[in-house]
Structure 1
Amino acid sequence: MALQWLTLVATIWLQSVNGTNSSFPAYSSELKRLLSISQLQLINLASASDAGKLLGWISGVAAAYLPLPLVLLVGAALGLVGYGLQYLFLTHHLSSLSYTHVLFLTVLAGNSICWINTVCYIIIIRNFPFDRQISVGISTSYIGLSAKIYTNIVDVVAPTSPSERAKAFLLLNSVLPLVVSVLVAPFARDAKVGKCKKLLAVGFFTTFVITVITGVFAVGTAISRFLPRYMILVGMLVMMIMPLVVPLVEKIRENLQKKCLIRVHDEHFTGFASMENGGKLEEEIGERDIFAVEEIGPKVMLRRVEFWLYFFVYLFGATLGLVYLNNLGQIAESRGCSGTSSLVSLSSAFGFFGRLLPSLLDYYFPKSKLLLSRAGEMGAMMIPMCGAFFLLLNRQDMSLYISTAIIGICTGAITSISVSTTTQLFGTKNFGVNHNILVSNIPIGSFLFGDFAALLYKRGTNNVHGDGNCMGERCYQTTFIIWGSLCGLGTLLAYFLHVRTKKLHSHA
């Protein structure tokens, strides 16, 4: 049981350093200066990291045939090459890199994120088969802290110089995931232990408390720097170590239990066998969301109506939310809102808790899943998201803050729910490939929705200002209407998928 919790801690640490693409704004100006590229080329460079997800299915294939520790190290090595060569370019150790080279390296670095994510998801699916959503939500919420962790380190090692900060971010992006991957690689495997519901409940409760405290600390120190920079970094490192409390306590409990079992055996009590491996394992699992799901391969999946419903639900939900958050700076500027940094912190915080929300609901209301499928849960999260896009038509700053909070929490929640949705619809055997095929709609959506919004913004620029900037609510007015309508369509598709899912699992 202790090893089981150690694998969860391993995924938490991996996810906490896997959001390397979030630090692109920190070094993008330096790349633009050294490469002498236009703003449009810089935008394409920013999208290149998402383009790496188009090849994410390769990591799924690798995970099906190679040991997970090896898959993890391959992913970290890709990041080392992708970010490391860019770091050498910024430090002038490489002088021959062209824009095309940097574009390719960015795609490679973005693809490395898929490899680490795939390993994390598979570890959780194998080691927490009856509590996947709870475990996934806890671990993936930490990816929202990546930017905070990297920033805290850079604040200490390179507090002032923009050039040195850019180099520090790229160096961390290349090295830190590799270091953590090497550290946790021995735990990237099947724990092969019994899973007792009551015992897991205690561990999950403790992990929830630690995660929430970590999130509150991260948000509090981001909004108000009431501590020195080095103290904030130390605090975050302590918060990252705290999840080890759970496997440590579990190990102590196991040792005490073994002593009790020996005593019971010596006194010739009956029922000794029923206490083996932690008690009534199978009986205490409970009536959970265990469906006899058909294991479906990627080729068959692509021919299923359920997949395409699911694909467009995710496209008009989580992907659309990510596009909004990626354009948040430009949106705030066009509305004359000066609190861009606070908006980014707000979206990050609510995204963190959004990823955690489905796990909390699963923990406290486990039987609710019998009433609402995963697709239904995704649709439920898209309803307020749809309203948030239309709320943005209001020119007040408060509407911008409220909408950003709603979109952040809903996007995070849908991203978390999607892992369990993939396993519920298509099984666990081919999860690595199937889920990476699904999330390939992120770069597709980023290109379609992002470029369309840019075209409308440019049209507003031509009509309003000649300085390249569009000011006023009209800049994104049509975009918000279109995004809100697409989100509404996605909600309807989620309902259809929910109906089909309930029908497929009516005998569960």
Structure 2
Amino acid sequence: MGPFFSLSGAGKWLGLVAAIWVQAICGNNYTFANYSDALKSLMSLTQLQLNNLSVAKDVGKAFGVVAGFASDCLPTSVLLIIGSVEGFIGYGAQWLVVSRRIHPLPYWQMCVFLCMGGNSTTWMNTAVLVTCMRNFPKNRGPVSGILKGYVGLSTAIFTDICTALFSSDPSTFLFILAVVPAIVCLTATFFLHEIPTPTSNPSELRQETLYFHVFNGIAIILAVYLLAFDITGNHGRVLSLAFAVGLLVLLATPLSVPLYSFISKPLSDSDIERPMKVSLKFGTPRPLWNAASQVLMAIGYIAMALALPGSLYIGSILVGICYGVRLTITVPVASELFGLKYYGLLYNILILNLPLGSFLFSGLLAGYLYDVQATVVDGGGNTCVGAQCYCLVFVIMALTCVVGLGLDVLLAVRTRNVYVRIHESKRAIAVSATDCSSAKY
């Protein structure tokens, strides 16, 4: 009997479900806008000062290198515990301020707590990605896509739950950010572990692919469900409660895969013969997809700069999709080029671009240009309304995407031989499966 019929086989799928839940609460770094106005008002901040608070949050990711080093010597459970405790303290302190249970802290102290909150997710992400990539070494792309997809959905999950149950109250939102990730991570420590997996044969690889299709389908349904709630306007109390219950059911649905994998048997080689031939037809270098995303992202920024009716929504959708593509593609590319031995450290080195980009484009560029256009308001702070506030910022971001396009194309050309070898290796597996199937008949 293959590993899919064994406890270890079901165990790694249960670990993937736990990883999905962790990623579904790891998007707290992207929710700053949900409570930033409250911080700006309470602390009488300018937009530049507020943006620098956001930068402090992203700077926390720069210390993710520590999590990368730790992933090579500490078990997954310890990484998750560290992340949950750090997030509880970081977001808990912000909750105390926004809920006015304590007086606003000095600016530098708020920067420290925001940095802690930002760094907490690096421990969670490192634990999840390193473990799952090693548990599914032959399906790094699908694993990365599923996990990063749930990170993208996590902001909507937090926001919609808070909107449905607590009327978007900023203090309640911060309380959720402090408590829920801690509970989920502590729960995941019991299920998410690195499970040594023997070399998979073609039938088992095909079985994995089918299960990943199920996970992708669930994620798409969840995304549509969240979108439907967002675009249908205000909801009554009963409908909001029903939405929350439905959301929890959808988040629990991935549990069906480990249950099914425990009682199912692997596909036979004859079952996989035709699909394997089709799925290995192309061997496009992954960085080329990043290059394509740069084109669409530039179009998205230009759309937002034009400030035409509806262009903000169109631009935001394009930029969001492309950002998700880049996150999904970059993770397996790093493992394919450098291997999995020091993957935790490598991953956290890669995401150093986030605090650097946040500092340059948000902290300096966007904050400065916003303050130039803004007017001072009574009681401190400033405000700006209209397309002129961020128009130049969007244009500069579009030009940056053009530069990124050139770099991605260059990387695709330089790594072409690597992906040719990967493609040939997969083709050899497919041919082997076909020969074995033919020999049986």
Q: Same fold (TM over 0.5)?
A: yes
Identity %: 32
Aligned partner letter, 1:443: P
1:323 is matched with which residue?
Answer: none
Q: Tell me which of the two structures has the higher relative contact order, counting C-alpha pairs closer than 8 angstroms and 6 or more residues apart.
A: 2
1:392–1:132: structure 2 CA closer, same or farther, 3 Å change rule?
A: same
Task: Choose 432-441 or 105-114, whichever is displaced more.
Answer: 432-441
**Counterpart pick for 1:251 among 262, 275, 285:** 262
Q: Is the 8 A contact 1:52 1:110 kept in 2?
A: yes
Structure 2 unaligned blocks of 5 or more: 1-8, 376-380, 423-441
State the match for 2:65 in structure 1: 57
User: Where does 1:242-391 land on structure 2 (aligned, <5 Å)?
Assistant: 242-253=253-264, 257=265, 278=266, 365-368=279-282, 370=283, 372-391=284-303
Give the Cα–Cα distance (whole angstroms) in 2 for the partners of residues 239 and 151 of structure 1: 16
Match of 1:9 among 17, 35, 38: 17
Find the counterpart in structure 2 of residue 105 from structure 1.
113
| Partner residue, 1:421 | 333
Matched residue, 1:446: 358
Q: Distance in 2 between matches of 1:90 and 1:459?
A: 28
Distance between the aligned counterparts of 2:291 and 2:408, measured in 1? 5
Distance 1:127-1:286 versus aligned 2 partners, 3 A rule: farther
Choose from 87, 102, 114 the match for 2:122: 114
- For 2:300, the aligned partner's letter is A
Question: Is the aligned partner of 1:78 residue 2:86?
Answer: yes
Give the partner amino acid of 2:412.
H
Aligned to 1:213: 221
Tell whether 2:416 aligns with 1:502: yes
Cα 1:142–1:87 change in 2 (3 A) is same
Please report how far the alpha carbon of residue 158 of structure 1 lies from its aligned counterpart in structure 2 after TM superposition. Answer: 3.0
The separation in 2 between residues aligned to 1:215 and 1:114, in whole angstroms, is 24
* Distance verdict in 2 for CA 1:396–1:95, change over 3 Å: closer
Cα distance between partner residues in 1 of 2:261 and 2:21: 19
Task: With the length of structure 2 as denominator, give the TM-score of the two structures.
Answer: 0.82
Q: Deviations over 1:243-302 (max 9, x none)?
A: 10111111121xxx5xxxxxxxxxxxxxxxxxxxx4779x979999xxxxxxxxxxxxxx
- Cα displacement (A) at 1:92: 5.0
1:456 counterpart = 2:369? yes
* Equivalent pair of 1:197/1:285 in contact (CA under 8 Å): no
Aligned to 1:41: 49
- After TM superposition, the score normalised by the length of structure 1 is 0.72
Structure 1 residues 478 and 176 mapped into 2: Cα distance closer, same or farther (>3 Å)? closer
Q: Could you report, residue by residue, the CA deviation over 1:322-367 in whole angstroms, capped at 9, with x for unpaired residues? A: xxxxxxxxxxxxxxxxxxxxxxxxxxxxxxxxxxxxxxxxx98554
**Deviation of residue 382 (structure 1)?**
1.3
Q: Does 1:145 align with 2:153?
A: yes
Superposed CA offset, 1:130-162 (max 9, x none): 111112111221122223332344345533xx7
Question: Any unmatched runs of 5+ in structure 1?
Answer: 258-277, 289-362
> What is the aligned residue count?
400
The whole-number CA distance in structure 2 between the counterparts of 1:108 and 1:180 is 18
Counterpart position of 1:400: 312
Partner of 1:170: 174
Deviation string 1:408-436 (CA, Å, 9 cap, x unpaired) is: 11111111111011112222111111121
CA contact (8 A) 1:152 1:232 kept: no
- Per-residue displacement from partner, 1:442-480 (whole Å, max 9, x unpaired)? 111122122223433444558xxxx96556655544433
Distance 1:285 1:458 in 2: 62
State how far apart, in whole Å, the 1-side matches of 2:136 and 2:273 are.
Answer: 11
* CA contact 1:381–1:413 (8 Å) conserved in 2: yes
Alignment match of 2:345 (pick from 433, 444, 452): 433
